[in-house]
Homo-oligomer: A and B are copies of this chain.
Amino acid sequence: MAIQSSDQQVIGVRERARRQGERIRAHIRERIDSGAWGPGHKLPTDRELARDFGIARNTVRRTLERLEHERLIVRQVGRGSFVATAEPAPRNPANDSRPDASPADVMELRLLVEPQMAELIVLRATARDMDALDECVRKSELARSYHDYERWDEALHRTLAICTKNNGLIALMDTINAQRNQPDWINLKKRTLTQTVRRTYQEQHRAIVAAVKKRDKDKTREAIRIHLAEVRQNLLGEH
């Protein structure tokens, strides 16, 4: 089978066949470093890049793997590849070099804090808050894609924080949610979020909201605790 379409390129390509990966890698890095592709920008698909550069898709993909490993980009099946958000740690000058909280740390923190919010929640949640909780549960159950589900799951836990009317807790929940959107978390979650697991979560979410509606402090705390324990179990195993 003759390779008709790329005859003119064959010679040039073959000459540098060993530097193709480096070539495309430099191109992408340049775009990102120069700011032409800001955080969140969608990269061309690997198939597009392969075609435009006259390189095999496999080579492009290995290059993208490297870039992903270097946290310069994030890739998601069915969606595309994106420039990573806030990649090189835009830390405050005050205190840096503190390692990020690991998924295990974050889950431990959540188990420490969120069940304790129960008392404040049942004490201060308004009728509007209850509606918002209902909406989160309903929408998360209707979510068809992993992304939609995650959005509403996050919203549920954030709404619980809002119920406490404590701005410190709301801010804390936002910080936690920000962690949950880091690349390694996303991979961890996607690996473990099967249909069965999701159904379990939905039941647990319902239980939490039901307890809040009854303003039952103890049931709320226990429902939250059970749910988070299950999440940790699924994400990290044992405990």
Contact = CB atoms under 8 A, between A and B. Distances in A.
A222 interface: no
B7 A4 contact: no
Contact of A166 (B45, B50, B109, B116): B109
A199 interface: no
Nearest to A100: B167
B8 A101 contact: no
A134 to B, nearest CB: 15
Interface in A82-129: 91, 93, 95, 98-102, 105-106, 108-109, 112-113, 116-117, 120
A19 to B, nearest CB: 8
B98 A167 contact: yes
Interface string A123-165: 0000000000000000100000000000110010000001000
A152 B69 CA distance: 9
Interface string A167-184: 111111011100100000
Contact of A4 (B1, B47, B112, B116): B1
Chain A binding surface SS class: helix
A77 interface: no
A49 B45 CA distance: 28
B8 A57 contact: yes
A101 B167 contact: yes
Contact of A172 (B1, B102, B109, B152): B109
Given A2-B1, A47-B8, A112-B113, A171 B101 contact: yes
Complex A-B, nearest 7 residue pairs according to Cβ-Cβ distance, in ascending order: A101-B168, A109-B168, A101-B167, A105-B168, A112-B116, A105-B166, A105-B167
